[in-house]
Structure 1
């Protein structure tokens, strides 16, 4: 009786061939197969990231549609031109007031 530990109550179930094959199959499917659990988790995280990106772009499209709708009217187009390109009407003066904290300055060290 050289190998007494083989008759231990915790070792006996592992003598069953079906159990060993079943454990091997489960380990293979969880870690080594092309459809493994780890790959599924990675793909699910990629899907979540892509869904977040999709939601972001849907929101951006909605904002752009609102901006286009505003710019399609005369008043909206005039407001945009005045605010961004400092355009003016005839006989009108425009004064641009910049505050000290809004100016971009170079710090000389």
Structure 2
């Protein structure tokens, strides 16, 4: 006559299983260091590692260029003329700028 009530499985009734599941859920989603935060921090670290490598290579290239410039006066003079538009006292410098395309 009476319907038997819904039986909760023994695994769900076990207090250790419930506590462990709650702890895992807490760590995965609710904690300050949850999985999403860890993923974002890992992505940021990878991005910074790539930037570090870029700047290291850039630094090496700049150091090499600096050594080349300081090795001879001709190279230093060429660099100063090209980059800083320097000239000798008896020279005139003409800058030729490319035309900008007209916008319609």
User: Normalised by the size of structure 2, how large is the TM-score?
Assistant: 0.73
State the number of aligned residues: 101
Counterparts of 1:45 and 1:3 in 2: how far apart (Å)? 53
1:87 corresponding residue in structure 2: 87
1:43 corresponding residue in structure 2: 41
Counterparts of 1:25 and 1:3 in 2: how far apart (Å)? 32
Unaligned runs of 5+ in 2: none
1:78 corresponding residue in structure 2: 77
User: Normalised by the size of structure 1, how large is the TM-score?
Assistant: 0.70
Per the TM alignment, residue 65 of structure 1 is displaced from its structure 2 partner at its CA by: 0.7
Counterparts of 2:19 and 2:102 in 1: how far apart (Å)? 72
Per the TM alignment, residue 68 of structure 1 is displaced from its structure 2 partner at its CA by: 1.0
1:23 corresponding residue in structure 2: 21
Could you list the per-position Cα deviations for residues 30-55 of structure 1 after superposition, in whole angstroms to 9, with x for gaps in the alignment? 11112322222221111111111111
Instruction: Indicate the RMSD between aligned Cα atoms, in angstroms.
Output: 3.0
1:5 aligns with 2:6: yes
